Each structure stands twice: as structure tokens, then as C-alpha cells.
Structure 1
Amino acid sequence: MSTLPDFEGLAIFAKVAEARSFAGAAEALKLSKATVSKAVGRLEQRLGARLFNRTSRRLALTEAGQRLAGQAAQILAAAEAAEQGAQEDAAAPRGLIRLAVPMSFGLSRIAPLLPDFLAEFPGVSIDLHLSDAQVDLIGEGFDAALRIALLPDSSLVARRLCAVRRYVVGAPAYFARRGRPTHPAHLAEHDCLGYAYLPTPDLWRFRNRAGEEVSVRPAGPLRANNADALMPALLAGLGIAVQPDFIVGEALADGRLEAALTDWEWPLGGLHFVTPPGGPRPARLTALADFLARRLAP
């Protein structure tokens, strides 16, 4: 005998006891009468007791059936309430989102948006994890993550939110002292400041409009696992770095930094909202993805 109770049999029995009819229960449950009769017979065999006295005209609960009917009805009601609650949770944005976001992007772009999101969806709460290291969504129990990359094939479900452009930048003083590279190969002669979590940190890849591709191995006095940490050295003129627009945009606009190799592009990546595979996405995750897509669109 199974160690689990026969929940299906108990639920069907409760409906038969309520309707005082196998046919009525079958109609209410959208099952065949034979399926209902078989479930009740299975339950009676399991319990070792007759639950109904049956005649051609009348169906009546036995003493054992009367004792069980109330408890079975409670079990059915609890299950229906649990299922309804789960459906409502799935349909309405509510509950906790454990969200992993790159440090610099999270501080500058995501954290300022969260008050508006939480005001729009008061039933949702967010546990924000800021780190440039790529987390294991499934292994570490995250509901979603934002990733800035050309995503490789994976089992994760990804939605592209917006483009993210990277620039080769340096301070005017650095270019005045060391010269401005006009081809990626010239970077081998320059001090390059490295970001540890680039897709290929030890190999910078470039492509021009003609489709020519060039790879360079950078070398320089500083490497960091956070792109913002490179900014003081960049502004001080210690070297050149590949930086995303959301970090160097203001410094480029006010002239503290200048872009080089503007005819060459780092392979364009994007900001992606990624979630674990399997099953429908909860409404709270869809709400967050839609909100971020609206607010981060160019």
C-alpha cells in the first residue's frame, strides 16, 4: 500500500457524499461515472470499509462513510483553497524576487528605478544582490539576473532589454603623452587597464564596418573586478580601458575622457533579463522584466 493517502479518492468521495449521487459527482468533477465509481471502490478497498449503501434508487452513507465525509470535505476544501491561492499568486504580481545584478550597473541604473517599481507593484518585494561575478541562478536560488553580454547558448530563459555599447577610452593627458591608437593592433604598445569580468578579459576582440576582425592581448598596470574601480586610474591618465557607456558616458560628454578606435566596435552585447528554465514565469517576474524594458529602452 502507498504511504501517501489517496487524496484523489478522498476528494471524489467527498463530492459523491455531497451530491448523494455518483452521476452528480461525475458531472461536477467533469469525470466519467465509471471513473468516480472506480475511485470510491479503490478507497473502500484501501480503508477496508464500505462507505455507501447502494440500491438502484438510493445512495446512503454508511456509518464509516458518515465519519469520513466531514474530514474528506475539509481536505477537498483545503486543496481547492491552496490551488486557488497558487493560481492567484501566479496571475497577480506578488511575492519575493531574488535578483542578481552587476555591481556598477545595479547602483547607477537599477537601484534608482526600484522605488517606482515597488510603488507600482506593492505586493512585490526584491532581494537585490550586487556583484559583477556571474551567479548560478539555480544553484544559488535566484529568481532572475541581469547580464550584460553576448549570451552563449544555455538552458536559461533570456529576454533582451536594451543594447549596451562599450568604448575604448583614455584621458586627454594620456593620449597627449602616448599618442592615440588608430588600429587595435596599436594597443599592444599602450598601457591597458583590465576589467576581470569582460567576456574574454585576456583577449580584446574588435570588428570594423568592413567586417575585419582583430584580437589583441592587453597588458597594463591595473586590473579590477569592478569597472568603476578603473575610473580613477583612467582619469589620472594611467592607461586605456574598454568601458561600457553607462560608466563612461558622462566623462565622455564633459571631456574628461575621450574615445579612441571609433571606427572599430567591441562585439555588441546587450542587457538581458535571465531566469531559470521550466514552467510558466511568475507574474512578478514578468512585471519586473516589462518594467525594466520600458524604463531602460534607449
Structure 2
Amino acid sequence: MDRVQSMQVFVAVAEEEGFAAGARRAGLSAPSATRAINGLEAQLGTRLFTRTTRRLHLTDVGRRYLDDVRHILTSLQAADDAARGAASAPVGLLRLTCPNEFGRIYILPILLDYLNEYPEMRADLVLLDRVVNIVEEGFDVALRIGHLPSSTLSAVKVGAVRRVVCTAPAYLDKYGTPTTPADLSAHRIVAISAVSSATEWRFGTDQQQVVRITPQLCVSTVAAGLDAARAGWGICRMLSYQAGRDVAAGRLACLLEDYEPESMPIHLVHTEGRRAPAKVRSFIDFARDRLRADPVLQALSSSNGCGG
């Protein structure tokens, strides 16, 4: 087995955290994968893994080597793509991660169309409501909502969102419309624990206006909060993209728009910059154009903060 193949096996075993799973991913038998890793360790003169009866762990050297090998393999793939003209016909597995609701509403439909456009591609979409280290966890692309910290990642802005307060028109007809954040104390509140604090909501561009809330209903998912708001049961707070389509259809109305916090940017992030492989470049271009064309993600300066 040549050095590049050994590196590919090493990455597969490291990411799958086991020889058997890594071997299956690499299309090898477990003994072959073991021999490849043993040979690589012999060439390097160091251990890349610590092995126990239950688990396989990267050593400190192994973790650093994994980052370097990923960069090497990505560069090799980019060179191969350029040589064979694969930029117009990307192939392989694309691993993506993004927040749950954003993935369901936006990324999955885009990804389905992308796979129809490029039938030689495969995709693994992981929906997680946490910030993922895309290098350590082996992702090609991540979608992030919020201001990005300084890093070596490349980022493409595709839109913006902000926190909005909304409810059904039927609720407002029955209970009246709050005109200041302080008015919320007299209303039924539905809190979504996955979106914001269940005890206080912050308003204003500097988020210094704090309103203590006592929700009559607290739910753990955005979908449940939307259902309660659509039913006219109470007032809910969520991100503008989550309510946008309901606002556009007249099922929800946004409140307290003059008190909304500053908007948060949406970025597609990836490693390698211009050296990214064809599969990454093609998906970034495909998704960027679709997301930038969506009025809910672009119309934050319109007459309602939900972008409808």
C-alpha cells in the first residue's frame, strides 16, 4: 500500500474511531487497515493511536498528524480535480453540518437539487444545534448563524437573521398588541428553550433592555413553539427565518420590531479557501446563489422583521 493510501486509511480509522468501521469506509478488510496503520507508524517512528479493548484513541501526535494529513489529501484532491476538469462534474462524498431548523427548511431542499444536478456526488448532512469544529469532525462545509470568531476558515456570507417576537393575528384580536417589551408581562408567553432564555428576553440593538418573562408554556423545539403561536395560544420568540414563511402567508405577525436586537449574519464556512476541492466549491456556489435569492434571509430592512 502506498503512502497516500495509508494516509486515507488513517483518516478513515481516526474519524470512525475503530479499525473495523474505518476499514469498511476505506473498502478494506480490518486486517489490511491494521497493517496500513502499523506500517505508517513504523515509517513515522511514533504511535498515532492508543488501543484499548473497547476504544481507539488518537495520541497527541496522532491528532496533529490527522489535521496535516487532511490538508494534504484535500490539496491532492484539488490538484486531481483541476487536472481532470472535475470542477464541472464534482464526484465523491460531501459532508455538511448546520442547525436543525435551518437545515430542514433551507439546506436539505438545496442539497436535494444539488445531488440531482451532480449525480456522481453523495452527501452526508448532519443537523446539530451546536458549533462544530469542521476540521476535527471531518466536515467539508458548515453553515453558521452569528458573528464568526477569527479563524483560518473561509467564509461566504449568504444572508442574515434576527430574533423576532410573533404570534397569530387571532391572538392579537383577542388579547391586544403589546407596543413595548414591558407590555409582554400582561400576555401569554411561549418560550422555546433551544432559541433563547426561558426567563428573560433581551431587546434593543445593544440588547441592554432586559424583560423578565414567566412563560405559561415552555417547549424544547422550534416546531412546537411555532405550532403554539400559529394556534393563537400565545406570543413566541424565535429567529426570523423560522417564522418567515408563516409571516409571508399571514399565519403569524411580528411584534415589537422597533426593539429587535441587531441582526446576525449567516455564513457558509469551509477550509482550504481557493484550494478547496471541486465538490466543496460547487456546493458553496450552488447554495450561495439559492440562499442569497431567498427574501426571508435578505429582507431584514423590510416593513416587518421576519422578512415577509
TMscore range, shorter length: 0.5 to 0.7
Residue 269 (structure 1) aligns with: 264
How far apart in 1 are the matches of 2:130 and 2:247?
26
Equivalent runs, 1:36-51 vs 2, <5 Å: none
Choose from 203, 214, 223 the match for 1:219: 214
Checking the alignment, whether the CA contact within 8 Å between 1:206 and 1:267 is kept in structure 2 is no
When residues 85 and 128 of structure 1 are mapped into structure 2, their CA distance, relative to the original with a 3 A threshold, is: closer
When residues 224 and 275 of structure 1 are mapped into structure 2, their CA distance, relative to the original with a 3 A threshold, is: farther
Unaligned ranges ≥5, structure 1: 6-82
Choose from 193, 196, 200 the match for 2:193: 196
Residue 246 (structure 1) aligns with: 241
1:278: Cα distance to partner?
A: 8.5
Residue 277 (structure 2) aligns with: 282
1:152: Cα distance to partner?
A: 4.1
How far apart in 2 are the matches of 1:273 and 1:165?
17
Checking the alignment, whether the CA contact within 8 Å between 1:145 and 1:274 is kept in structure 2 is yes
Choose from 121, 136, 140 the match for 2:137: 140
- Deviations 1:192-250 (Å, cap 9, x if unpaired)? 32333437665433226xx8952334331333443122112112233212233433233
How far apart in 2 are the matches of 1:147 and 1:212?
21
Residue 80 (structure 1) aligns with: none
How far apart in 2 are the matches of 1:274 and 1:201?
30
The percent identity for this pair of structures is 39
Specify the code of the residue in structure 1 equivalent to 2:259: W
Checking the alignment, whether the CA contact within 8 Å between 1:104 and 1:226 is kept in structure 2 is no
Residue 187 (structure 1) aligns with: 184
Q: TM-score, normalised by structure 2?
A: 0.59
Residue 92 (structure 2) aligns with: 95
Checking the alignment, whether the CA contact within 8 Å between 1:193 and 1:223 is kept in structure 2 is yes
When residues 271 and 201 of structure 1 are mapped into structure 2, their CA distance, relative to the original with a 3 A threshold, is: farther
When residues 279 and 286 of structure 1 are mapped into structure 2, their CA distance, relative to the original with a 3 A threshold, is: closer
Residue 233 (structure 1) aligns with: 228
Residue 107 (structure 1) aligns with: 104
Residue 40 (structure 1) aligns with: none
- Deviations 1:98-153 (Å, cap 9, x if unpaired)? 11122222222222222331233334321011233443433432222112223344
When residues 278 and 118 of structure 1 are mapped into structure 2, their CA distance, relative to the original with a 3 A threshold, is: closer
Please state if 1:158 is matched with 2:150.
Answer: no
Secondary structure of 1:263 counterpart: helix
Checking the alignment, whether the CA contact within 8 Å between 2:78 and 2:278 is kept in structure 1 is no
Secondary structure of 1:98 counterpart: strand
Larger Rg computed on CA atoms: 1
Q: RMSD between aligned alpha carbons?
A: 3.2
Figure out how many residues of one structure are paired with residues of the other and give that number.
215
Residue 125 (structure 1) aligns with: 122
